[in-house]
Amino acid sequence: MNQGKFKFSWHYIALAGILLTSIILNFYKLGQEGYGNLYYSAAVKSMLQSWHNFFFNSFDSKGFITIDKPPVGFWFQTLSAYIFGFKGWSLFLPQALAGVLSVALLYHLVARVFGRGAGLMAALFLALTPIVVAADRTNEIDSLLMFTTLIATWAISKAVDRSSLKWLLLAAALVGLGFNIKMMEAFLVLPAFYVFYVISPRLSWTKKIVHLVCATVVLAVVSFSWSFIVDSTPPDQRPYVGSTQNNSMVELAIGYNGINRLVGQQRGVGGFSGMRPQQNHRAGGQGDAGGEHRGADANYQSSMGPHGNGHGSNLNATMQHNVRGAFNGGGQTGRPGLLRLFTTPQLAGQLSWLLPGVLFSALSLLWGIRLREPLDRKRQTAIFWTVWVLTMFIFFSVANRFSSYYMVMLAPGIAALAAAGFKEMWNQWHASATGKAWLLPPALVCTAGFAISVVWKYPGLGTMVSLVIGVLALIALISMLAVRKENGTGKKGITALAVSASILSLILAPAVWAVTPVQYGGSVSKPFAGPELKMQKERDGMVSNPKLESYLKANYRQGTYFLATLNAMSAAPIMIDTNLPVMAMGGFMGADPVLTVEKLQKLAKDGQVRYFLLQGQGDSFGNRQTAVANWIRTNCRIVPADKWMEPQSRKASGQGWMGFGHSSETLYEYVQK
């Protein structure tokens, strides 16, 4: 009895340590990221101002246009901001909490089938997945989606255990809730869910089909309920649906946030222009006391040496190359292909560390399976996690348009399958003489070798980490061989050494990467982890112009638009600074056909909008947006730059948010004739 209690205590101490690690990685120095992605932060601020904005997910406080995502994730952020105040950390709190809870829930899901040891490893692997840590510390909503789908996984596990339609319908409803967090990405778990229920041996095929049809109906109803309400609301009584061409939430779900992610179509990139650098929002919106926010290229050059001649350290040069890739859409995800997650630096370092081991894990767990025979619980669950990983691996390998932090959804499957597989391979190695037992050494060597191949590209840091991984893997292999030969009292100690060295060799590299968002500060535009963050800090935040805001406040009339800009990226920092409505005439990137010239003309004549901030010549926008910009230039007068722009800003150059270049800005004023 006492011995059982002792083992029980140590097991939960280990779990507590893993959860504490996750809490530290997710919460420590959380406020250093400022307001995060200002596009979403500005929307939360607008949603705090009225139930209408809250329900419709409005970007601006006057309900002109929505953001490009469904509302549930931002409802949690709005609730947090309502309770704790509108602060950067309060916006990040739901995601950070969801990340920790996901670690705890994954432990439960794995431990209940594969044992506590596998559950602890799965929790540890997920807690140290770099891209998960990076996303948990921002106001991107992927962590909430991951947690929701893990709750759905718990529900469908109950459904399979009990052959229960009720639990299956709950799982379907939870996936539908996930759809209202990030739309079609939530459906990536469906192949695993359907296969899991189909291979359940307790039900007849007729009942399985009936149950799955009912679940699909519930899934569809919950998924599209909010979209249907929005699309059924008269357009003049709700905001325009941002990032669509036809003002339809269903189009946003299936098109922009669905098919377009796979095939790569994207509207409006050419229409984006960054903000003129003035005030940095990374430090909670208080600005950078040092003044100017330099462009990304200037920082890259300064990192290379005093003369910018490329003679800096090899580590800096490598980081410089990788940061460039991380801040443009194509470079962050590389070219489509089945080796993309292994060969693209910005993907391999985010969550691919355990993928070689996952291959061996699936082989070990499914060894000797015969689908015509009833499957035990372990093999059913192994198939579930294998389908989870395989579906998402294929999607992220071939998809043309996504950001690396979207792969948070893949992380639980990798962690669960790797943990269960390595435990199974260890058990076979420890007790079996069959060929299956010899899967463990190559699994460990391939996984450690892949980690070394990733970190080796970072001279200095990579050399040290690679050496430690190699030594740990060698110790693990020698200890494993000794375990098979040792039958005496020393076997327990050798076993502990083998297990410890093996796990450390697996987690060392991802742990180094996972610490970097805490150590250096994360990327607020496209979250990622890795040594590259050291080179990008205070480089990718959107910025605003205090003198412009002061000028506009002096001429503002209550109840009207404070300013109109061509895109939401220009509007967001001004909205956060002033708490006043700014019209993003073309939506997120300036390409949404929200306004006609006639509608804009009426708004101007009615006194609803007076000032317009335009970037560049507007020729890269769609026909309607170009016509709107041309009407402004033709019918409004230019406000002299010395009234609203700091002298140094007129000469500044560089890059704006997300790496898009910006050109000169011009402020226009509509004067009633």
- DSSP class per residue in 599-649: HHHHHHHTTS--EEEEES-STTS-HHHHHHHHHHHHHSEEPPGGGTS-HHH
Provide the phi-psi class of 264: left if phi over 0, else alpha when psi is between -120 and 50, else beta. left
Buried b (16+ CB within 10 A) or exposed e, 244-276: beebbbbbbbbbbbbebbeeeebbbeebbbbbb
How far apart, in whole angstroms, are the C-alpha atoms of residue 102 and residue 96?
Answer: 10
From 195, 200, 158, 155, select the one nearest 175 (Cα to Cα): 155
Find out whether 620 and 270 touch, Cβ atoms under 8 Å.
yes
User: Is the pLDDT confidence value at 282 over 80?
Assistant: no
For the chain, give the percent of residues with pLDDT over 90: 67
How far apart, in whole angstroms, are the C-alpha atoms of residue 218 and residue 175?
Answer: 10
Q: Max alpha carbon distance in the chain (Å)? A: 99
Structure tokens that stand for 522 in this block: 């994360």
Q: How many CB atoms lie within 10 A of CB 130?
A: 28
User: Is the pLDDT confidence value at 266 over 90?
Assistant: no
How far apart, in whole angstroms, are the C-alpha atoms of residue 362 and residue 370?
Answer: 15
Lowest average pLDDT, out of 170-184, 221-235, 293-307, 353-367, goes to 293-307
Model pLDDT, residue 251:
93
**Residues 285-336 pLDDT 10s:** 333 333 333 333 333 333 333 333 333 444 555 455 554 444 343 456 888 8
From 353, 354, 301, 293, select the one nearest 530 (Cα to Cα): 353
Which amino acid is it at 271? G
User: Is the pLDDT confidence value at 85 over 90?
Assistant: yes
User: Is the pLDDT confidence value at 412 over 90?
Assistant: yes
**Residues 21-44 pLDDT 10s:** 999 999 999 988 889 999 999 999
Using CB atoms within 10 Å of the CB of residue 120, give its burial: 0 to 12 exposed, 13 to 18 middle, 19+ buried: buried
Model pLDDT, residue 293:
32
Model pLDDT, residue 327:
39
From 528, 520, 191, select the one nearest 351 (Cα to Cα): 528
Strand 582-584, strand 611-615: pairing:
unpaired
Model pLDDT, residue 368:
82
User: Is the pLDDT confidence value at 626 over 60?
Assistant: yes
**pLDDT category of residue 428 using cuts at 50, 70 and 90:** confident
> Residue range 239-256: average pLDDT?
93
**pLDDT category of residue 664 using cuts at 50, 70 and 90:** confident
User: Is the pLDDT confidence value at 115 over 80?
Assistant: yes
Provide the phi-psi class of 660: left if phi over 0, else alpha when psi is between -120 and 50, else beta. beta
Phi, psi of 144 (to 5 degrees): -65, -40
User: Is the pLDDT confidence value at 630 over 50?
Assistant: yes
> Residue range 545-558: average pLDDT?
93
> Residue range 622-648: average pLDDT?
85
How far apart, in whole angstroms, are the C-alpha atoms of residue 64 and residue 50?
Answer: 13
Which amino acid is it at 440? L
Which amino acid is it at 114? F
> Residue range 117-145: average pLDDT?
97
- Mean of per-residue pLDDT scores for the chain: 85
> Residue range 535-559: average pLDDT?
79
